[in-house]
Amino acid sequence: MKHLGTQTIETERLILRKFRTEDAQAMFNNWASDDEVTKFLTWPTYKNVDDLKKYIDYLLNNYMNNQFYDWAIEFKEIGEPIGSIGVVDINENTQLVHVGYCIGRAWWHMGITSEAFAAVIKFMFEKVGVNRIESRHDPNNPNSGRVMLKCGLKYEGTLRQADLNNQGICDAAWYGILRGEYFAKVE
């Protein structure tokens, strides 16, 4: 893999970019403070903007690492971030990345998460040279699985009580796409 770090990626409706300190309020307002958005996530709902500023400081420090990938999903129509997408795990030996994402409730069911994930998939296969991209979701959150399928990942199975999210111990439905599968569809 040729790690490039978090690069700006533009799609028809979105700019995927590094977070900035001034994003804290939009992040709080648009998704991070909403219990419905964080219901099936592994991080808790934020209760104040100051804690988000600390998290953004963590991101800013990590952006110097070319193996760190975490994007703000900026909706061009409003010019502010409405969600995030990033690589939450990397396995160098198998050239694998695990991607996680979330988006504000006001933008659910608009194809925005799929658009962002498809752009990250393209970047990771075509620029970074990964061999496998995977993701997982709680089966009680089937919309997340629909995003994965729409982006070309294949359902690979459900591990029973193998994960933990804000609901407690949960099942994990796993999806993946391989480099060869991606390029077979592109050509």
Q: Give per-residue burial for 112-148: e unless 16+ CB within 10 Å, then b.
A: bbbbbbbbbbebbbeebebbbbbbbbbeebeebbebb
pLDDT in tens, 153-173: 999 999 999 999 999 999 999
Q: Is 1 contained in some domain?
A: no
CA separation (Å) from 182 to 72, 95, 129?
Answer: 24, 15, 12
Q: Is 97 contained in some domain?
A: yes
Q: Is 172 contained in some domain?
A: yes
- Hey, CA dihedral for 29, 99, 117, 166, is it positive or negative? negative
pLDDT at residue 9 is higher than 80: yes
pTM above 0.85, yes or no: yes
Q: Which residues pair with 163 in a beta bridge?
A: 170
Percentage of the chain with pLDDT > 70? 99
pLDDT at residue 186 is higher than 80: no
Q: Is 2 contained in some domain?
A: no
Question: Looking at residue 185, what is its pLDDT?
Answer: 85
Write out the residue range of the structural domain in which residue 23 sits: 9-186
Q: Is 164 contained in some domain?
A: yes
Q: What is the mean pLDDT of residues 134-155?
A: 98
Q: Is 68 contained in some domain?
A: yes
CATH of the domain at 68: 3.40.630.30
| Alpha helices (H) along the chain | 24-27, 35-38, 49-62, 112-123, 142-150, 179-186
pLDDT in tens, 10-33: 999 999 999 999 999 999 999 999
pLDDT at residue 55 is higher than 80: yes
Rounded-to-integer distance, Cα 35 and Cα 3, Å: 34
Q: Is 138 contained in some domain?
A: yes
pLDDT in tens, 61-78: 999 999 999 999 999 999
Q: Is 3 contained in some domain?
A: no
pLDDT at residue 187 is higher than 70: no
State the total domains in the chain.
1
